[in-house]
Chains A and B, each alone.
Chain A
Amino acid sequence: DAGVIQSPRHEVTEMGQEVTLRCKPISGHNSLFWYRQTMMRGLELLIYFNNNVPIDDSGMPEDRFSAKMPNASFSTLKIQPSEPRDSAVYFCASSLRGDIQYFGAGTRLSVL
C-alpha cells in the first residue's frame, strides 16, 4: 500500500487567497484525521471523519477553515481566505480501528 497520500507537498500563497489541501487515505481505512503542526503549538487535531461523516470539528480554528470527505478515498481541507498565521505543516492521517493512526508526509503551507 502507498500509505496516506497528501498533495501538494508545499504550498506558497498570498494572504487572502483560497488554499485547498488534499488527502487520499489508506484503502480500507474508515477514519480520517486532519492535523496542524507548528513549533509553538505542536500537533493539533483539526477535524476527524468516520465513514466519511465529520464527527468532531472542535479543533477547526475558525470559519475560514472547512473540510470535506465526499467519498472513502478522498478528503480536502480548505482555507478561505488564508492568513499568515495559517502557515504550518498540515497532516492527514487515517485509521482502520480508530486507534493506530497512519500519517501522510504533510503539506507545508506558507501564507505571505
Chain B
Amino acid sequence: EDQVTQSPEALRLQEGESSSLNCSYTVSGLRGLFWYRQDPGKGPEFLFTLYSAGEEKEKERLKATLTKKESFLHITAPKPEDSATYLCAVHLLSSGSARQLTFGSGTQLTVLP
C-alpha cells in the first residue's frame, strides 16, 4: 500500500537552530513530491515540488531535497515566523486518479525566540 510518513510529528527549535524535517514514502511510482506550509486557521500554502531523485529546491531559509525513498526539508537559521505545520504530499504514477495527491500527517514546527 502506498504510504507517506512524516517525522517528527512535532519539533521545537530555538531561533537560529537549524534542523531537518523528513518525509518518507513507499509508493510504486512517484510522479512528484510536494511540500506545503499550513498556518493555523488557513489552507496549505505551496512551497516546493520535486520530481526526480537528486533534485533540490530553495526558498529563503528552506531547502527541499529528494532521494528515491525520502525527502528532507532543511530549515537554516529559522525564525519564529517559520512556525507552522509542514505537509508533504506525493503524486503517484500508478494512481488511477492521475491528479490525486496523498498527504502525510505533517510536522508541527515551533521556533522559539
Find out whether the CB atom of A45 lies under 8 angstroms from the CB atom of B49. Answer: no
* A42→B103 CA distance, assembly (Å): 8
Identify which of residues 2-58 in chain B touch chain A, using a CB-to-CB cut-off of 8 Å. 31-32, 34, 36, 41-46, 49
Inter-chain contacts of B103 with A (CB < 8 A): 42-44
Find out whether the CB atom of A106 lies under 8 angstroms from the CB atom of B49. Answer: no
* A102→B91 CA distance, assembly (Å): 15
Asked whether A101 and B96 contact (CB < 8 A) given A42-B106, A43-B44, the answer is no
Number of A residues, CB within 8 Å of B: 24
A21 to chain B, nearest CB (A): 13
Number of B residues, CB within 8 Å of A: 24
Contact of B49 among A50, A99, A104 (CB under 8 A): A99
Identify which of residues 45-76 in chain A touch chain B, using a CB-to-CB cut-off of 8 Å. 45, 48, 50, 55-56, 58
Inter-chain contacts of B97 with A (CB < 8 A): 45, 48, 55-56, 58
Asked whether A103 and B45 contact (CB < 8 A) given A43-B87, A55-B97, A55-B99, the answer is yes
Inter-chain contacts of A2 with B (CB < 8 A): none
Is A79 an interface residue when CB atoms closer than 8 A count as contact?
no
* A42→B91 CA distance, assembly (Å): 17
Identify which of residues 2-55 in chain A touch chain B, using a CB-to-CB cut-off of 8 Å. 4, 31, 33, 42-45, 48, 50, 55
Binding site for A on B (CB under 8 A): 31-32, 34, 36, 41-46, 49, 87, 91, 96-106
